Chain A
Amino acid sequence: MSDPEHRDPERRRSPLHEVHAAAGATFTEFAGWSMPLKYGSELAEHAAVRSAAGLFDLSHMGEIVVLGPEAADALDAALLGEASAMETGRAKYTLMLNAEGGVVDDLVLYRTGPDRFLVVANAANRELVASELRSRAIGFQAEVQDESDDIGLIALQGPRSLEVMTEVGGFSADQDERTEQRFVELITGLRNYRFLAAWYLGHPVLVARTGYTGEIGYELYVAPGLLPELWNALLETGRGSGVLPVGLAARDTLRLEAGMPLYGNELTALTRPQQAGLGRLVRPEKSADYVGRRSVESFDPAGHRILVGLVSEGRRAGRHGYAVRAGDDVVGEVTSGALSPSLGHPIAMAYIDPDAISRDLAIDVRGTALPARVVPLPFFTRPDRKA
C-alpha cells in the first residue's frame, strides 16, 4: 500500500474545522484548503444524499460581489451569460471565458438586487476570477469586492432537504413579515435556481435552491461566524431522517453521477464550452460584447474532442488521465471516473475524438482494456425527474 496523504501546515481552514475534527473527519488538501474528505464512510455519505440529505461545508468557494449602477453591464461584458437579463432572486450557471473562448472558470451568478450580484467561483480560481472581474469592469460604474472571507457557504442536498429546512427553526423571511411561518411558505415554493434573502437568528442569509449533486437542495450563504451554529442545528434536525455530514469524496462521486463538470478536470483554459456540452450557454441573441465572444461564436467543433459519458461493466473504474482507445488508437482521455455508488457500475467522463464515438471503445485501466460504451449525460437522474 502507498500512502497518498500529504501534510502542509500552510493550508487554510474552514470556520467549521473544529466541528469537523470533533466529528472524526479525515481532511484533505483542496485548492490550498484543508477540507473534510469524509467523516466515516464516503459510500454511506453518498447514499445519504440520494436517500435523505447531506450537509456539505463549502467554505473554500470564492464569493465575489459586484455592485454599482452598471454592475449588470460590467458582468455582461465579463461573462458568457447575460446578467442584465436576470431578475432579482434568480441564479444562473455561467462561464468566464478568455479571449480564445477557453473557460477561465464556471460560476454561479446570483442577482441579489438591481445593482448587485454575487459571483461564486471555484476555490482554485477565486483570485483569478476576482482580478479578471476587476479589469473587465474598468469603464463601468461597478465595483468588484472579493468577500470570500466574509461569506460562509454550506449546502444541504437531498430529497429530505426541504423538510429539514422547514423544521430546523431560526429562519425568518426577509419580507415585511419577518416570521418563521412566512419563511416556510417561501422556501416551500422556491423553484430551482431561485433564492431567498432571509434571516437566521437575526443575521442575513441567502438561501438558494442550487447545488452540485443532482438532487433537490439548498446552498446557504451566511456570515462565517454563524456557520457552526447553523451546521449543528441542521444536523441535529436531520439526524432522525438519516442526514449526514458529507465530505469532498462523496461530493465528487455525486457530481460525477449528475454529469456536472469539475473545473480542472472537465473544464480548463483550453476547453471551449461547446466541447464540454455547454454550448447552450452561448447565446447569439445576447446584445453585449463580452470577452471571448468572437472566438466562442466562430468555434467550429469539427475535429475537436468532445465530452462524453462512458459506462463499463464490472467494478474497475477508469480514472482521471487514463487513455480511451479504439483498437490500437488512442482516441481520448478520461477526465473523471469512479465506480458509481448509486448505479453499481463504473462511470466516467472523457474527451474523445468525435469520429470515434461510434467505434468500440475501451478505457486503458493500468494496462487492461476495459470495454466502455458512450451514454448521454447525466448518468443519474433523481427518480422524480425521470420522464
Chain B
Amino acid sequence: MTGEQDLQYTAEHEWVDADGDTATVGITAYAAARLGDIVYVELPGVGDEVVAGSVVGELESTKSVGELYAPVTGVVTEVNDDVASSPEVVNSDPFGAGWLLRVRITETPELLDHAAYQQLTGEA
C-alpha cells in the first residue's frame, strides 16, 4: 500500500496508485467528505476501455451525485465489488478498502503530485 504522499492525483479528486502498468484508482478523502455519506456507486465493467478525462462511473450520496472520471487511459482489469454492496467504505477508507477500479495503463496524462493536490484543495 502506497502512502498518500506517494500517490498521484487529478484535479477532479481521483487518486492513482501506479504499479508497473497497472493503476489502482479511487477518490480522495476530500472528495468523499464533500460528497457526503455515499449510498450508491456505479463502476465500469471489467474489460471496458476507458479514456483519461472521460466519465466512467458515479458516486451518489443522499444529497448529490458525483461523476467518476478515468484518470488514465487503458482497460479495466478489476473493480472493487465491495464498494457496490458497502458504499460507505468509500467514506471510511477512501485510500484503502474504498478503492474503486484497476486499469491496465496504455497512456497516462500529466497528474498532480501530493503537494500540488493539497494546494488545489486548500489543505496545503
A interface residues (Cβ-Cβ under 8 A, vs B) = 1-5, 26, 37-38, 41-43, 46, 249, 252-253, 315-317, 319, 338-339, 341, 366
Q: How many residues of B contact A (CB 8 A)?
A: 27
Task: Assess A42 versus B36: contact at CB under 8 Å? Given A1-B59, A4-B64, A253-B62.
Answer: yes
Q: For A4, what are the chain B residues with a Cβ–Cβ distance below 8 Å?
A: 34, 64
B24-42 Cβ-contact flags toward A at 8 Å (1 or 0): 0001100101111101101
How far is it, in angstroms, between the C-alpha of A2 and the C-alpha of B14 when the chains are bound? Answer: 10
B63 touches A42 (CB 8 A): yes
B60 touches A316 (CB 8 A): yes
A3 touches B34 (CB 8 A): yes
A2 touches B12 (CB 8 A): yes
B14 touches A1 (CB 8 A): yes
B36 touches A1 (CB 8 A): no
Which among B28, B36, B66 has the greatest number of chain A C-beta atoms within 10 A? B36
Which among B12, B14, B42, B62 has the greatest number of chain A C-beta atoms within 10 A? B62
Task: Assess A1 versus B62: contact at CB under 8 Å? Given A43-B37, A249-B36, A339-B40.
Answer: no
Q: For B33, what are the chain A residues with a Cβ–Cβ distance below 8 Å?
A: 26
Contacts beyond the supplied A1-B69, A5-B34: 13 A-B pairs with Cβ under 8 Å: A1-B14, A1-B31, A1-B68, A2-B67, A3-B34, A4-B34, A38-B36, A42-B63, A249-B63, A253-B62, A338-B63, A339-B40, A366-B65
A1 touches B12 (CB 8 A): yes
A41 touches B63 (CB 8 A): no
Q: For B39, what are the chain A residues with a Cβ–Cβ distance below 8 Å?
A: 43, 315, 339
Determine whether B102 belongs to the interface, using a CB cutoff of 8 Å to chain A: no
Residue pairs across A and B with CB atoms within 8 Å: the count is 62
What residue in chain A is nearest B32 (Cβ atoms)?
A1
What residue in chain B is nearest A45 (Cβ atoms)?
B37
Task: Assess A316 versus B40: contact at CB under 8 Å? Given A2-B66, A3-B31, A3-B34.
Answer: yes
A1 touches B60 (CB 8 A): no
Within 8 A of A (CB), among B63-99: 63-69, 91
B63 touches A252 (CB 8 A): yes
B62 touches A315 (CB 8 A): no
Q: For A316, what are the chain B residues with a Cβ–Cβ distance below 8 Å?
A: 40, 42, 60
Q: For B37, what are the chain A residues with a Cβ–Cβ distance below 8 Å?
A: 41-43
B65 touches A43 (CB 8 A): no
Q: For A315, what are the chain B residues with a Cβ–Cβ distance below 8 Å?
A: 39-40, 60
Q: For B64, what are the chain A residues with a Cβ–Cβ distance below 8 Å?
A: 4
Closest Cβ–Cβ distance, residue B43 to chain A (whole Å) = 13
What residue in chain A is nearest B13 (Cβ atoms)?
A1
Can you offer 29 A-B residue contacts whose CB atoms are under 8 A? A1-B27, A1-B31, A1-B59, A1-B69, A2-B66, A3-B13, A3-B31, A3-B34, A26-B34, A37-B36, A38-B36, A41-B37, A42-B36, A42-B37, A42-B61, A42-B63, A43-B37, A43-B62, A249-B62, A249-B63, A252-B63, A253-B62, A315-B60, A317-B62, A319-B65, A339-B39, A339-B60, A341-B62, A366-B65
